[in-house]
Amino acid sequence: MRAFGGGEGADRPSTRASLGQGRVCPEYARRLLRLADRVAAVQKAEKPARVPTNGRQTLYLAGASQPDAQTRCSRTATRTRVKLPLRMGLLMWCVLAVGLVGAHCGRWQPKAPRHGFQGKSSSDSDPKYTEEEAAKFYDDYDAQAALFLTKETLALWAYDSNITDHNLQKKLAASAETAKYTKESWSKLIKFPWKDFSDPELKRKFKLSSVLGNAALSEEDYNKLQSIVGEMSAIYSKAKICSYQDKSKCDLSLEPELTELLMKSRDPEELRHIWIEWRRNSGEKVKEQYKEYVALSNKAAIMNNFDNAAALWLNNYESDEFRDQIGELWHQLKPLYQQLHAYVRRHLRIKYGDGVVKAKGPIPAHLLGNMWAQTWGNIADFMLPYPERQSTDVTPNMIKQGYTAERMFKLSEEFFTSLNLSAMPEMFWDKSILEKPNDGRELVCHASAWDFYDRKDFRIKQCTRINQEDLYTAHHEMGHVQYFLQYKHQPIVFRTGANDGFHEAIGDVMSLSVSTPKHLRTIGLLEEESTETDKKASYEATINYLFSTALDKIAFLPFAYELDLWRWDVFEGKTTPENYNCHFWKLAHEFQGIEPPVDRTEEDFDIASKYHIVADVPYIRYFISFVIQFQFHKGLCQAAGQLENNAPLHECDIYKSATAGNLLGSMLQLGASKPWPDAMEVVTGQRKMDASALREYFAPLEEWLRAENEKTGEFIGWDKTDKYCVQTRDELRKLVERE
């Protein structure tokens, strides 16, 4: 795997991992490693590499790349404190050993990674396991699985909407029942020679069902894993901090209080306080549980015949080259991100001063208007390219017009029905939670859409605030429900997205139309501009609109990438608990160009202040969705006739186009019954993920940013951070005292 993003890549394998791959075969690699380790035993362990940055010494525990076998052995031999003849002898041994390894391994091929259970061949299987019997078995399994999943999802909903110990125990019990049934069925399913089936649909059902997931664990381990995830999620959901303004007020939750403060406050000290305290009260508290979570997740993956949990997660994408494809997408997108980063950094420097934001440095993460610096739209107010032009933020008009949470979701529903797609069932409106309850209960406020697997019960849970961001979130979550409705006729195993990124993209595709100034005027949330016919004014308004959109859509991309790069490294053993936090900040610096507002240690666990980390939700799906939604948008715009005469992609609004809706519906109805390239081809005519449509959408802005950054002499990229990341707070104090 090549390193992504240039420089020190997160995907570079360690020496031990790489010895079994490429030019060194396993049996000789083991001998060479034993030699290197024997030599290394006579010297002290190497200290972490110190990297000079801006006059300070920054400690990166995970920073240095690993040497190859010969370099490692030779370096150890030359550094060993023994007499010169012995050192020379050891060095000669290293060169000879690697040469012998190369000679013996010339014809050796590396072992292929494991990809789950492949089923028996027809020649090995019992004659009673026929394809006809397999079809009957699967129909029975599907009907029973739906009942178990409905019961489990009801229990999970009860817990997430009212976090109590009683509801937790009911949730765990229901999950255990489902896991037990699934495991029993799976043990029968893999006896069928499904690889030899002639019916492609039945073959795909068995292929997808042959991956058991966490249910492969023993009952004790499964229950333990579920308990750990439940505990971590509860700590996250219940976390509260004290107010910066009033230290006696200690009831500020992430939703809505902290989110709104980050959106509105321009006091860097208050923002710093919120940033630190949220992490102290959430992520820092779960590090021990997370270690157990990693071990059990990997154990489950191995029991599914995968090398580790990263391989199990990536199996969803049905491609051995998937990680390379994601890396290529990021390289397509990185130049645009760097231009946006440079422009935003300049305006933050103007706002807060050179002492807070350095001209060539990474951006302090607490200044970007979001708890995780994943989207930057909340700081658009003081950096719009043309502030004299009308803002496309419709929040004031939503409040002025008396919008409610239900009205926001009704507006979203009307957009879907205008495309000849399905309305929400009556049960949706009866059972969804669209606002944060005021009865004092604790709940998971993170917005989510729910399929209860009975083909009639679908819900959304969202602590909706009356603002533009949550209006688009409403469309996003309803996009999930629309997908549920479209594929509800499919068997259970196909009732999911073509891949996880598809599911996340659908609602956002709608938002690309909803957010256009044209559409916002159509629904009365944006006033008509008298200067609409003025070409200069129109251009400036377009740049403002694209810039505001980019603060959410483009700023998000490296964050979505690095979150799962970190987890893949953890699952694969490249990142250990001793450098969890420092490795995360290394990735955040490399990909996002951000830094923490204060020095960090391994006693902190900042990545776990994000919901998806503690809730066991893979995140690369969001990176994928932010790319493919523009591919889908372009395909639907072409179907709607919106791109004729070279009309720009960013102006397209597919509202009321039944042609576009029917095309989208035909893809959604497939669920996972076809490989995702087949589904993508329905709407886009393409079979690969590609960032070209995204770059086309933002082309006017990218051209403008390049010219503006060149005009102001802005540095593109970022230097090293001057923040420390070390093992302990005591060590940090000593380092600071020495300065």
pLDDT digits (tens, 9 = 90+) for 449-480: 999 999 999 999 999 999 999 999 999 999 99
Q: Span 288-302, mean pLDDT?
A: 98
DSSP letter at 433?
B
Q: Span 513-536, mean pLDDT?
A: 85
Which of 70-74, 114-118, 548-552 shows the lowest per-residue confidence on average (mean pLDDT)? 70-74
pLDDT of residue 736: 87
Q: Say which residue the tokens 């125990």 belong to.
A: 169
Confidence of residue 122 (pLDDT cuts 50, 70, 90): low
Q: Is 477 among the residues known to form the active site?
A: yes
For residues 112 and 526, give the distance between their C-alpha atoms in angstroms, rounded to a whole number. Answer: 56
Q: Say which residue the tokens 């980019």 belong to.
A: 550
Please work out, in degrees rounded to the nearest 5, the angle formed at the alpha carbon of residue 198 by the alpha carbons of 193 and 201. Answer: 95
Strand partners, 109: none
Structure tokens at 292: 């157990």
For 502-505, which contacts have Cβ atoms below 8 Å and span 24 or more sequence positions?
502/625, 502/628, 502/676, 502/679, 502/680, 503/621, 503/625, 504/476, 504/621, 504/622, 504/624, 504/625, 505/479, 505/624, 505/625, 505/626, 505/628, 505/629, 505/632
* pLDDT at 226 > cutoff 90: yes
> Taking the alpha carbons of 541, 542, 546, 547 in that order, is the dihedral positive or negative?
negative
Q: Is 270 among the residues known to form the active site?
A: no
Whole-number average pLDDT of the chain: 87
Structure tokens at 123: 């020649």
Could you say which of 152, 277, 413, 477 is catalytic?
Answer: 477
Structure tokens at 529: 């501009």
Nearest one of 510, 508, 526 to 640, comparing CA atoms: 510
Cα separation values, 72 from 1, 81, 579, Å: 20, 16, 21
Which of 39-48, 115-124, 725-734 tops mean pLDDT?
Answer: 725-734
Structure tokens at 214: 């966490």
Cα separation values, 271 from 258, 274, 315, Å: 10, 5, 40
Structure tokens at 528: 């008509």
**Cis amide bond preceding 387, omega within 30:** no
Which of 99-108, 387-396, 554-563, 723-732 tops mean pLDDT?
Answer: 554-563
Contact 189, 202 (CB under 8 A): no
- How big is the chain, counted in residues? 739
Contact 568, 310 (CB under 8 A): yes
* pLDDT at 580 > cutoff 70: yes
pLDDT of residue 392: 85
pLDDT of residue 114: 59
* pLDDT at 46 > cutoff 80: no
Confidence of residue 44 (pLDDT cuts 50, 70, 90): very low
Binding residues for Zn(2+): 476, 480, 504
Binding residues: 317, 476, 480, 504, 621
Rg (CA), the chain: 27
Structure tokens at 185: 């069925």
Which of 25-29, 388-392, 441-445, 519-523 shows the lowest per-residue confidence on average (mean pLDDT)? 25-29
Instruction: Tell me the helices (H) and strands (E) count for the chain, helix number first.
Output: 29, 10
**Which residues, other chains included, contact 270 with Cβ-Cβ below 8 Å and sequence gap of 6+?**
244, 245, 261
**For the packed helices 500-514 and 658-668, what is the interaxial angle rounded to 10 degrees?**
170
Give the CA dihedral 364, 370, 376, 382, nearest 10 degrees.
Answer: -80
For residues 324 and 721, give the distance between their C-alpha atoms in angstroms, rounded to a whole number. Answer: 28
DSSP letter at 689?
-
Q: Span 553-560, mean pLDDT?
A: 98
Q: Say which residue the tokens 């020496």 belong to.
A: 15
Confidence of residue 186 (pLDDT cuts 50, 70, 90): very high
Contact 635, 663 (CB under 8 A): yes
pLDDT of residue 232: 98
For 637-645, which contacts have Cβ atoms below 8 Å and span 24 or more sequence positions?
639/663
Between 652 and 389, the more confident residue is 652
* pLDDT at 89 > cutoff 80: no
DSSP H helical ranges for 459-524: 468-486, 500-514, 517-522
Q: Say which residue the tokens 């239900």 belong to.
A: 406
State the DSSP H helix or E strand holding residue 681, giving kind and residue range, or none if neither: helix 676-684
Structure tokens at 590: 């490399």
For residues 455 and 630, give the distance between their C-alpha atoms in angstroms, rounded to a whole number. Answer: 30
* pLDDT at 164 > cutoff 80: yes
pLDDT of residue 495: 98
State the DSSP H helix or E strand holding residue 363, giving kind and residue range, or none if neither: strand 363-364
Contact 433, 462 (CB under 8 A): yes
DSSP letter at 12?
P
Give the CA count within 13 Å in the CB-facing half-sphere of 374: 16
pLDDT of residue 205: 97
* pLDDT at 447 > cutoff 50: yes
* pLDDT at 715 > cutoff 90: yes
Q: Say which residue the tokens 């029973």 belong to.
A: 144
* pLDDT at 27 > cutoff 90: no
For residues 471 and 552, give the distance between their C-alpha atoms in angstroms, rounded to a whole number. Answer: 14
pLDDT of residue 1: 27
Could you say which of 257, 529, 612, 681 is catalytic?
Answer: 612
Helix (H, G, I), strand (E, B) or coil at 33: helix
Structure tokens at 32: 């060479």
Contact 631, 511 (CB under 8 A): no
Helix, strand, coil shares of the chain, percent, nearest 5, are 60, 5, 35
Which of 90-94, 188-192, 283-287, 619-623 shows the lowest per-residue confidence on average (mean pLDDT)? 90-94
